[in-house]
Each structure stands twice: as structure tokens, then as C-alpha cells.
């Protein structure tokens, strides 16, 4: 699966890691994206061999549909809770590095002591960055698994809904232009909310107490993706000069 998913979960769970990687000059990782709904393998297998449809063209935001479904909200929230201990561990490691950096401001340090402290900071910083990257890769892999699992079950629902509603084609609008192929589409063409409702009904998963994602009513637009929480500004990791 190619990377394009909005990383709102990673941003929430690993706000610290984003800061650490930014310090190292690395770009943020993003969630892997689901395959286009126009040719989902699971749907193709489940669709009738003589499937018929209309001539209408519809749009769906696959990313939003996965995250907004009751199952998606439940499973991603559970993953967020699961990753909280790792977030705490990374924060403690980062605090340790920052504490060592502050010691460099001590004018009473000898040159040997300062050089030793600088080496210690560099070693711990590299170790922290490796831990951060490993944690982000692990979180991304688990998010990827959840998204793929839900998509495999949602794809037949998309096809069934499209056939019933007389659509001849459904295109994915998860990636806006120019990353995606759709420059513009009428809001009335969007079926994301309808598919989510149909999938929720089929899955039987109850709605969360506080829905994490609000979808527009059918025919009012595709809706914006969930906004990523504010991330801390990068801090310099280079020890101050002697």
C-alpha cells in the first residue's frame, strides 16, 4: 500500500517523535493508503459475474470512510491507547537528553568534562532517534493492518451500494489534486457518508460515545479529513558551542 493516509493518529500518539525526527532533519511519515475503490480485489471477488450498473459516476473518500466507520474509530482508538506507554517512554528519553544539554551551560565544566558530556548527548540522541523511528514504523504497520482489514470488508459494500444506486463508476477522492486524479467533483456525487452508514449497519459495531470524525450529509460535500493535532515546534539538537 502506497503512503498517503493522513497521519492524524500518528500525530496524536507520537507528537514527541515528530519533534525528534524534525530535529534530525527527517520528514514525517504518513499513513499508508488503501487501494482505490474503483478496483478493490475483495469487491471484485464478491461481485456477481453479471453485475450491472448505471451510467452515473460517484465519488468516495476511502480514507475518511475507513476512519469514520464505527469499526475504524473503535480500532484506531484502541491502537492509540496501546501505544501510549511507548509515547511515555520516548518522552522520558527525550527529557533525559534535554537535561544533559542543560548541563553544558555550566561554566564550571572542564574541557574534558564538556567533551565527555557532548559525546554522551550525541550517543543518547542517536539512540532516541532510532527508538522514535522504530516506534513510528511499528505504529504505521499496525495502522496499515487495521485500514486494510476494514477496506477488505468495506469494498463489497461499496460495490453493492453503487450497483443498487445506479452508479457505473466510483472514484476515490482521498488524495486531492494534483496528488490525485480528481480536479473537481460535484458534492452531490459523494457517497462516503452513505457507504459508512451501510457498512456500520452490516458490521454491527456500535457507534462510539463521541464520534471522532463527522461526515457531511449525503449530497453536501466530501468533507475535510480529520485535522492533525498541533505538533510541538522542533528544537535544536546541536549542543551549544564550547
User: How many structural domains does the chain have?
Assistant: 1
Domain membership of residue 27 (yes or no) is no
Domain membership of residue 217 (yes or no) is no
pLDDT for the residue numbered 47? 42
For the residues 59-81, what does the mean pLDDT come to? 97
pLDDT at 227 over 90: no
By mean pLDDT, which of 110-114, 209-213, 234-238 is the weakest? Answer: 234-238
Query: Torsions phi, psi of 206, nearest 5?
Result: -70, 155
Domain membership of residue 186 (yes or no) is yes
By mean pLDDT, which of 27-36, 115-124, 183-192 is the weakest? Answer: 27-36
pLDDT at 92 over 60: yes
pLDDT at 109 over 70: yes
Domain membership of residue 1 (yes or no) is no
Q: Distance (Å, rounded) from C-alpha 229 to C-alpha 237?
A: 23
Domain membership of residue 233 (yes or no) is no
Give whole-number Cα distances, 239 to 81, 102, 104, 131, in Å. 34, 9, 8, 20
pLDDT for the residue numbered 67? 96
Domain membership of residue 38 (yes or no) is yes
**Joined grid coordinates for residue 174:** 482521498
Domain membership of residue 48 (yes or no) is yes
User: Residue 53's pLDDT band (boundaries 50, 70, 90)?
Assistant: low
pLDDT at 170 over 90: yes
pLDDT for the residue numbered 41? 40
pLDDT for the residue numbered 6? 41
More confident residue, 91 or 209: 91
User: Residue 125's pLDDT band (boundaries 50, 70, 90)?
Assistant: very high
Average pLDDT, the chain: 76
By mean pLDDT, which of 32-36, 63-67, 123-127, 202-206 is the weakest? Answer: 32-36
Q: Distance (Å, rounded) from C-alpha 190 to C-alpha 202?
A: 20
Question: Of 84, 77, 62, which is closest to residue 5 (Cα–Cα)?
Answer: 62
Q: Distance (Å, rounded) from C-alpha 82 to C-alpha 84?
A: 6
Domain membership of residue 7 (yes or no) is no
**pLDDT cut 90: percent of the chain above it:** 59
**Joined grid coordinates for residue 37:** 475503490
pLDDT for the residue numbered 224? 37
| E strand or H helix that includes residue 56 | strand 56-60
User: Residue 216's pLDDT band (boundaries 50, 70, 90)?
Assistant: low
Range of the structural domain that residue 149 is part of: 33-203
**Distant-in-sequence, close-in-space partners of 221: CB < 8 Å, separation ≥ 6:** 187, 190
**Distant-in-sequence, close-in-space partners of 136: CB < 8 Å, separation ≥ 6:** 10, 14, 17, 21, 29
Cβ(228)–Cβ(213) below 8 Å: no
Amino acid at each position: 500500500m502506497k503512503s498517503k493516509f493522513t497521519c492524524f493518529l500518528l500525530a496524536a500518539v507520537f507528537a514527541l517523535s515528530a519533534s525528534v525526527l524534525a530535529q534530525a532533519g527527517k520528514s514525517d511519515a504518513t499513513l499508508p493508503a488503501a487501494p482505490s475503490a474503483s478496483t478493490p480485489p475483495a469487491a471484485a471477488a464478491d461481485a456477481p459475474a453479471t453485475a450491472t450498473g448505471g451510467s452515473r459516476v460517484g465519488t468516495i473518500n476511502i480514507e475518511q470512510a475507513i476512519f469514520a466507520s464505527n469499526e475504524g474509530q473503535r480500532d484506531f482508538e484502541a491502537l492509540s491507547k496501546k501505544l501510549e506507554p511507548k509515547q511515555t517512554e520516548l518522552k522520558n528519553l527525550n527529557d533525559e537528553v534535554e537535561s544533559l544539554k542543560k548541563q553544558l551551560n555550566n561554566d564550571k565544566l572542564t574541557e574534558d568534562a564538556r567533551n565527555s558530556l557532548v559525546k554522551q548527548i550525541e550517543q543518547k540522541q542517536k539512540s532516541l532517534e532510532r527508538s522514535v523511528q522504530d516506534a513510528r514504523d511499528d505504529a504505521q504497520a499496525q495502522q496499515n493492518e487495521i485500514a486494510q482489514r476494514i477496506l477488505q470488508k468495506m469494498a463489497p459494500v461499496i460495490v453493492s451500494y453503487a450497483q443498487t444506486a445506479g452508479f457505473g463508476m466510483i472514484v476515490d477522492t482521498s488524495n486531492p489534486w494534483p496528488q490525485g486524479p480528481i480536479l473537481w467533483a460535484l458534492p452531490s456525487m459523494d457517497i462516503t457518508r452513505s457507504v459508512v452508514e451501510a457498512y456500520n449497519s452490516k458490521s454491527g459495531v456500535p457507534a462510539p460515545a463521541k464520534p471522532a470524525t463527522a461526515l457531511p450529509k449525503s449530497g453536501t460535500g466530501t468533507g475535510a479529513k480529520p485535522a492533525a493535532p498541533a505538533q510541538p515546534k522542533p528544537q535544536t539538537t546541536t549542543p551549544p558551542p564550547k
